[in-house]
Amino acid sequence: MDETAAKYIGAGLAMTGLIGAGAGLGILFGNYLQAAMRNPAAAASERVWMFLGMALAESMGIFGLVMGFVILFVKV
């Protein structure tokens, strides 16, 4: 296998982390909205935890993106 082909395969596999981040954010916001509709009084206190979960899920997606770029563009 050529080195360039291996880099593209590795970068593509690293990008699959973005799928999990997108699914996680969708589930997070969907469940928050569902809970806020059921109990609007508790929605404000749960908003902090929603943003914390959003930041953690998004950071893992960004980590996968950065690793894909590192695999593609860093010369060893």
Per-residue pLDDT 10s for the chain (76 aa) are 888 899 999 999 988 888 888 898 999 999 999 999 999 998 888 889 999 989 988 998 899 999 999 999 998 7
Is the alpha carbon torsion for 22, 24, 27, 31 positive or negative? negative
Q: How many residues does the chain have?
A: 76
Sequence-separated (6 or more) residues with CB below 8 Å from residue 66: none
Domain of residue 48 covers 3-69
Total domains, the chain: 1
- Residue 76 lies inside a defined structural domain of this protein: no
Q: What share of the chain is helix, strand, coil (3-state, %, to 5)?
A: 90, 0, 10
Query: Which residue's entry shows tokens 């973005």?
Result: 18
Q: Is the pTM of this model over 0.85?
A: no
Cα atoms in the 13 Å half-sphere on the side-chain side of 67: 15
CATH number at 63 reads 1.20.20.10
